Chain A
Amino acid sequence: MLRPGTTLPDDMPLDVTTLLSLPDHLRKSALALSTLKEATATDLSRETGRVRAVESDYLNQLVSMGLVKKKRKGRDVYFYVET
């Protein structure tokens, strides 16, 4: 099981085998982001039904692990899975 805080190799893709190794709370965010392709924490919170602050924290954990990227567009921060 991959733990939050684990830094993965740069070329580790977010495919299903990686998804299956994630803890439940991060897998839910990663699956929702794979569906939306690119989203803010607010967009993701609508998809997962969790509050925005929690979703933002989980997304940033995925960013720290190297599985998700983020970029700024104006005032908004967008998260995405590199494909």
Chain B
Amino acid sequence: MGKTLAFHSYKGGTGKTSLVVNLGAIYAKQGANVCVLDFDFRAPSLNVLFKTKPQFWINDYLEGKCGIVDTLVDQSEKFKLPGNLWVGFANPSLEALKDIMSKDRKWEVKALSKTLSGKKEILEEKKVDYLIYDTSPGAQYSSINALAGADLISLVMKADEFDLEGTKELAKGVYEALGRKSGIVLNKIPLEQIAAAGGRERFGRLIAGDIGLPLVGMIPCMCELMAFGGKSIYAIDKPDHTFTRSVGEIAEAIKKL
């Protein structure tokens, strides 16, 4: 049975989407069967990066208009990847965004059930090795639904006080309560702080001490990523880039968890 990973954060702009897409591409480059699902219904963005308009959105699946597998579009041929890279997209139209905001708790019960059974279906039917959810930041229903079905929750955060305090709350109130294995990815860390003697260990101690979760990996801050965000998948276009190497280290660390 494949591994289900959910990437989440307290605040937006921590780099979840870039990490999820590149992680999926790295595993697919290694020959694994990967599925990436856009569960960020408040700000969908995978359609921009993959330049794909699917026949069905994940929103359609949650509404009972199609099966979960009908929402998946394989990107492996386009990027010449040895493994499959299935992607399920969230609908970015304003109408869909308004619709998702108007849902009541009864609808969320159905959405939870469909999220969990959809995960099972993808793992069984597509023989996926890694199912990866990109989620909305904060305690949104759709995000927690995805986290509830994950084997591993990875929190992506910057090392500032805003993120640290909010992440502590999420770790205690959500991740611990769900009883899922969880870890932290630190993003946008000044390169010199990572490269400094004992830098990695220092951040590891800080995270373990403050949040009580292990550090899965670190990604240095690179202005260039902001300029190319949404235009390029570094793991495919720039395999030797520092960003790709950092995500590669995270991919290996996740395999061992």
Residues of A with Cβ closer than 8 Å to B?
A: 13-17, 19-20, 24, 27-28, 31, 34-37, 81-83
Which of B122-140 touch A at CB < 8 Å? Answer: none
- For A23, the closest partner residue in chain B by CB is B177
Q: Can you report 24 residue pairs joining A to B where beta carbons are below 8 Å apart?
A: A13-B105, A13-B106, A13-B108, A14-B109, A14-B112, A15-B105, A20-B177, A24-B179, A27-B178, A27-B179, A31-B116, A31-B149, A34-B112, A34-B116, A34-B117, A35-B117, A35-B120, A35-B149, A36-B117, A81-B109, A81-B113, A83-B109, A83-B110, A83-B113
Q: Once bound together, how far apart are the Cα atoms of A20 and B179, in whole Å? A: 10
How many contacts A-B (CB < 8 Å)? Answer: 54
Nearest-neighbour CB distance to chain A for B125, whole angstroms, equals: 15
Is there contact, CB below 8 Å, between B116 and A83?
Answer: no
Report chain A residues within 8 Å CB of B110: 83
Report chain A residues within 8 Å CB of B105: 13, 15, 17
The secondary-structure label for the interface of chain B is helix
Is there contact, CB below 8 Å, between A35 and B178?
Answer: no
Report chain B residues within 8 Å CB of A34: 112-113, 116-117
Report chain B residues within 8 Å CB of A28: 179
Q: Once bound together, how far apart are the Cα atoms of A17 and B174, in whole Å? A: 9
Residues of B with Cβ closer than 8 Å to A?
A: 105-106, 108-110, 112-113, 116-117, 119-120, 141, 144-145, 148-149, 173-174, 177-179
The answer to whether residues A16 and B117 also contact, given A34-B112, A81-B109, A83-B110 and a CB cut-off of 8 A, is no
Is there contact, CB below 8 Å, between B116 and A35?
Answer: yes
Report chain A residues within 8 Å CB of B177: 20, 27
From A17, A34, A36, A37, name the one whose CB has the most chain B CB atoms within 10 angstroms.
A34
Report chain B residues within 8 Å CB of A83: 106, 109-110, 113
Report chain A residues within 8 Å CB of B178: 20, 27
Q: Once bound together, how far apart are the Cα atoms of A4 and B176, in whole Å? A: 20
Is there contact, CB below 8 Å, between A13 and B109?
Answer: yes
Is there contact, CB below 8 Å, between A20 and B109?
Answer: no
Q: Once bound together, how far apart are the Cα atoms of A14 and B106, in whole Å? A: 8
